[in-house]
Amino acid sequence: PAAEPERSRRAIDVPVGGRAAARLERQAAEAARKKSGRKVGPPDRPAGPALGGPGRDDERRPDPADGPRRFPRRAVQGLVAFVVVAVGVLGFWSFASPEAEETSAQSPVTSTAPAPSGEALPVQESVAPTAELTPAPVGPVRAPITVLNSTSINGLAGDIGDAFTGGGWEVTRTGESPVQDVATTTVYFTEGDSVQQQAAAQLVEQFPDVSGPVPRYFEVDQDVPGLVVVATGNWRP
């Protein structure tokens, strides 16, 4: 039949081995690729994705759904070490900078060294302002005394005058008092005369039975140069 010579011819025309066999393998691979819709590499190397084309970048780009990429542990350790070194260098520079030295030089230094033995440190005492006071007399202040009797007791003014004289006072005269409304024996001084006021205070201190001192508010018959004592019946020396 006619099919037998054709089969025999094709079998004879097909070369076997060498380059012809390799070419047949490539043709078979190409036919298989076209049938499956994907490119198949040559038989001597494994098939893989194409080196070029729009699909190459899409295959290598990471998917956002996969989450953030984690840095390697060595990179994190290196970053921490760099920060620590930078902080140390910055602190040393700020301490050793000229501005820091100038500030430390201008800062006052409080000395806590003890004082030499036998030498006391000066102490500043705060003194509060005080009102003006009449200076106290250094010694006894004396003034002449006039003793006036405001009672009906005879010789009372003389007896009191003698007591004053015995205490070191000068009694110039005795007599009757022009005032009768005095409750106790009282010493009077001329108002505005500080010497008489001090003398009257010392007289009261020496003779506690005498009251006062009180500024004199009445006049006497004769000019009285000093203190006036009005005697009453509460004290009889």
The identity of residue 88, as a single letter, is G
Q: 20-29, 65-74, 202-211, 216-225 — which is least confidently predicted? A: 65-74
Q: Note the pLDDT of residue 198.
A: 96
The count of other CB atoms within 10 Å of the CB of residue 161 is 22
Confidence of residue 55 (pLDDT cuts 50, 70, 90): very low
Six token digits for residue 36: 């499956």
CB 32 within 8 A of CB 40: yes
Q: Note the pLDDT of residue 26.
A: 85
Confidence of residue 78 (pLDDT cuts 50, 70, 90): confident
pLDDT digits (tens, 9 = 90+) for 174-221: 999 999 889 999 999 999 999 999 999 999 999 999 999 999 999 887
Q: Which CATH architecture does the domain made up of 145-231 adopt?
A: 2-Layer Sandwich (3.30)
Q: Which residues contact 44 (CB under 8 A, 6 or more apart)?
A: none
Tell me whether the omega of the peptide bond preceding residue 42 falls within 30 degrees of 0, making it cis. Answer: no
What pTM, to 2 d.p., does this model score? Answer: 0.44
pLDDT at 117 exceeding the cut of 50:
yes
Q: 18-27, 39-48, 154-163, 221-230 — which is least confidently predicted? A: 39-48
Q: What angle do CA 105, 107, 110 make, to 5 degrees?
A: 115
